[in-house]
């Protein structure tokens, strides 16, 4: 009887462990300059689900990082960038919808975050598909104070200031563009792409194509275990 009970308990435990879902969903962005893994935030479900939908469709595969500015960000996801001629101006392509802004005080433009590009609209609604990965730069207290006063018109929380003073980022974009994920592996990929020579439109002279795939549950669970141990890589 005891052996049977132990067997049942072990079976239930194994099933529970197998059935447990990862806390977040992750995507891989692969380029010839390396691969980065991005965690999508559950706090921004509209943007998360839209990105997953497009990734599942293979929408991003073959698109370019078409706008690259050192110490700022690298932008991609324009469907018009697929097989675009070297002299063509990119950045206006998209699908026939926008995504409502999902600003969260806890989510800010530190280095490595994924955020939605957008045009100039009063609702600050996001592009259906274009996004950017932040490189940014490190700020001093004096620079952050000036930014708060002249541009942001709000106080940056102290814990976020510490991140901007150490890791860096683009604080002037906070509460203006929706942040909905962050790189958890392969942050150096952004640095490699950000220094590429560009033309007058900030488009890399060498095409930087991407391939975006969704990590399977098993891969995501394994990644979260590594992240919990501080093995981001």
Q: Is the pLDDT of residue 16 over 50?
A: no
Q: Quickly state the pLDDT bin for 229 (edges 50, 70, 90).
A: confident
For residue 106, give both structure tokens.
């806890």
For residue 201, give both structure tokens.
């439109």
SS3 of residue 66 by DSSP: strand
Q: Is the pLDDT of residue 231 over 90?
A: no
Tell me the per-residue pLDDT of 130-189, one tens digit each, with 9 for 90 and over.
999 999 999 999 999 999 999 998 999 999 999 999 999 999 999 999 999 999 999 999
Q: Is the pLDDT of residue 122 over 80?
A: yes
pLDDT attached to residue 34:
98
Q: Is the pLDDT of residue 19 over 70?
A: no
Q: Is the pLDDT of residue 14 over 90?
A: no
- Residue pair 73/137 in contact (Cβ under 8 Å)? The answer is no
With respect to residue 71, please indicate whether it lies within any of the assigned structural domains.
yes
SS3 of residue 175 by DSSP: coil
CA distance 23 to 21: 6
Q: How many domains does the chain have?
A: 1
CA distance 72 to 180: 17
Q: Higher model confidence: residue 128 or residue 16?
A: 128
CATH of the domain at 111: 2.40.100.10
For residue 217, give both structure tokens.
């549950």
The pLDDT of 190-201, averaged and rounded, is: 97
Question: Scanning the structure block, which residue is given the tokens 């002037």?
Answer: 172
With respect to residue 5, please indicate whether it lies within any of the assigned structural domains.
no
pLDDT attached to residue 166:
98
With respect to residue 228, please indicate whether it lies within any of the assigned structural domains.
no
CA distance 213 to 225: 20
With respect to residue 34, please indicate whether it lies within any of the assigned structural domains.
yes
With respect to residue 72, please indicate whether it lies within any of the assigned structural domains.
yes
175: containing domain: 25-220
SS3 of residue 142 by DSSP: helix
With respect to residue 202, please indicate whether it lies within any of the assigned structural domains.
yes
pLDDT attached to residue 87:
83
With respect to residue 225, please indicate whether it lies within any of the assigned structural domains.
no
With respect to residue 226, please indicate whether it lies within any of the assigned structural domains.
no
């Amino acid at each position: 009887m005891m052996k049977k009970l132990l067997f049942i308990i072990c079976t239930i435990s194994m099933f529970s462990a197998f059935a447990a879902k990862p806390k977040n969903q992750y995507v891989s962005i692969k380029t010839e300059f390396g691969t980065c893994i991005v965690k999508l935030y559950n706090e921004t479900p509209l943007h998360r689900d839209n990105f997953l939908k497009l990734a599942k469709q293979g929408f991003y595969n073959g698109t370019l990082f078409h706008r690259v500015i050192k110490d700022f960000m690298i932008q991609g996801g324009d469907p018009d960038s697929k097989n675009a001629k070297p002299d063509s101006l990119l950045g206006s392509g998209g699908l026939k919808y926008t995504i409502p802004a999902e600003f969260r005080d806890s989510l800010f433009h530190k280095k490595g975050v994924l955020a939605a590009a957008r045009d100039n609209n009063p609702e600050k609604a996001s592009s259906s598909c274009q996004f950017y990965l932040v490189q940014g730069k490190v700020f001093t207290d004096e620079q952050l104070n000036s930014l708060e006063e002249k541009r942001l018109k709000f106080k940056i929380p102290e814990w976020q200031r510490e991140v901007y003073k150490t890791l860096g980022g683009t604080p002037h974009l906070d509460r203006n563009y929706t942040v909905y994920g962050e790189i958890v592996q392969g942050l150096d990929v952004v640095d490699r792409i950000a220094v590429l020579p560009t033309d007058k439109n900030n488009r890399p002279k060498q095409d930087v194509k991407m391939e975006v795939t969704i990590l399977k549950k098993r891969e995501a669970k394994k990644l979260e275990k590594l992240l919990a141990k501080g093995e981001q890589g």
